[in-house]
Homo-oligomer: A and B are copies of this chain.
Amino acid sequence: MSSTGWTTREAHDRVDSPRRAELLTAARSVFERLGYGAATIADITAEAGVSRATFYVYFASKAEVFAVLAEQVRDAFLEAQRVSAAEDDDILAVLRRTTGTTLEVVVEYRSLIVVLDHQSLADEDIARVWNPIRRSARERTARYLQRAVDDGRIDPVADPQMLAFMGAGMNDELAPLIAAGELTPDGAVERIMGIWEAVLRQRRR
């Protein structure tokens, strides 16, 4: 197990502490404002209004608190894409619902995602964790679509992996418009679904 905090977290018994949650919120705010490189533990403790010693009760390093924030984004994507057995069969309904919930995550974490993308350019440790998180959302979509192809429910115009890239790309392009108030979340979902319906070519049964 790594000691950087990227693959495991120490102090699991303190995970639910309100103080730890405050430190995470403060760290996120500092990283979004300054980027990862320029942010210091002093900035984070000042933002949270706690001492440096308190920070080290919960996190071993700046890298560890950043890793935990990356895990929060991953967990939010996982939750947004969860498909229940009951809804699984109606592919357009699943895509409509998960497009809406995924857009919420992309909009909510938009700034932190840009900071993670930014830091991944220069920092191999962070790229090694963040790139698979980015990728796993697309891979889940691709697997779900592949299953629908295998079951004969859709006859898509391109392979599921390419369609997953297309879907992720549309989400990423429309999210800034939602964040800027130029498009409503529902409006974005409607437009994205128009493309999905056309490219999936659902089969009547």
Give residues in A with beta carbon < 8 Å to B. Answer: 32-35, 37-38, 111, 114-115, 117-118, 121-122, 131, 138, 157-159, 162-163, 165-166, 168-174, 176, 191-192, 194-195, 197-199
Contact = CB atoms under 8 A, between A and B. Distances in A.
Contacts of A174: 165
B111 A114 contact: no
Q: Could you say how many copies of this chain the assembly holds? A: 2
Nearest to A113: B117
Contact of A168 (B114, B138, B169): B169
Contact of A122 (B33, B157, B197): B33
A172 B157 CA distance: 20
Contacts of A199: 157, 195, 198-199
Nearest to A174: B165
A198 B157 contact: yes
